[in-house]
Chain A
Amino acid sequence: AQSVTQLGSHVSVSEGALVLLRCNYSSSVPPYLFWYVQYPNQGLQLLLKYTTGATLVKGINGFEAEFKKSETSFHLTKPSAHMSDAAEYFCAVRASFGNEKLTFGTGTRLTIIP
């Protein structure tokens, strides 16, 4: 079965500093990988996704993620944190071929320090 591990349930960074949120996956099929963001009292919004092709994926709000097959990782980065980035972030992987389910990690809460 596919699985996702997000290292660090809470991450704090200073405003203007690099944001790095870690995601490692396990998948028996070529992975499709996703990052979602959840702002307080809202649903999840898609930040970016990797399916095939270029391994560096750019998303909304200045975020990007790099698929590294050898490391089974899909870490999310942003060069300069903004106060508005404070939210919870979820990494997800597709469950299997021909199966539209996603398996989500347990989430990382990002706090921005002024």
Chain B
Amino acid sequence: DAEITQSPRHKITETGRQVTLACHQTWNHNNMFWYRQDLGHGLRLIHYSYGVQDTNKGEVSDGYSVSRSNTEDLPLTLESAASSQTSVYFCASSGGQGAYTQYFGPGTRLTVL
């Protein structure tokens, strides 16, 4: 069955370190998204991609970057981790062509000390 996976599931890091969260999907979807989930804020879009070599900023992109070198993967990098980036991060993908339905990974819980 097609799926979307994230790794690691839990990560503890220190302020100032670079951190990369992996997202891999086997749906063969063109569209991929990164969200963060914080109490009281729901899901907020960080970055998204509509295909290989395409990346776009979402509403909370400061301090984050992504790159898309193939269809399956969209890694999220925190350039210099800050305590404000402690959150649960979700990756999602969608098939495009007006389908809009997004399929989510299990999430990565990141703690920045």
Contact = CB atoms under 8 A, between A and B. Distances in A.
B68 to A, nearest CB: 14
B90 A43 contact: yes
Contact of B48 (A34, A44, A101): A101
B43 A46 contact: no
B57 to A, nearest CB: 12
Which size class do A's interface residues fall under? 20 to 34
Interface string B22-40: 0000000001010100001
A42 B107 contact: yes
Contacts of B96: 100
B42 A104 contact: yes
B106 interface: yes
A interface majority secondary structure: strand
Contacts of A46: 101, 103
Interface of B: 4, 31, 33, 35, 40-43, 45, 48, 50, 58, 90, 92, 94, 96, 100-107
Given A43-B90, A90-B43, A107-B42, A102 B105 contact: no
Given A43-B90, A44-B90, A100 B100 contact: yes
Given A9-B40, A44-B92, 11 more contacts: A32-B100, A34-B100, A41-B106, A43-B106, A44-B104, A49-B101, A51-B100, A100-B48, A102-B102, A104-B43, A105-B42
B36 to A, nearest CB: 12
B43 A101 contact: no
Contacts of B101: 34, 46, 49
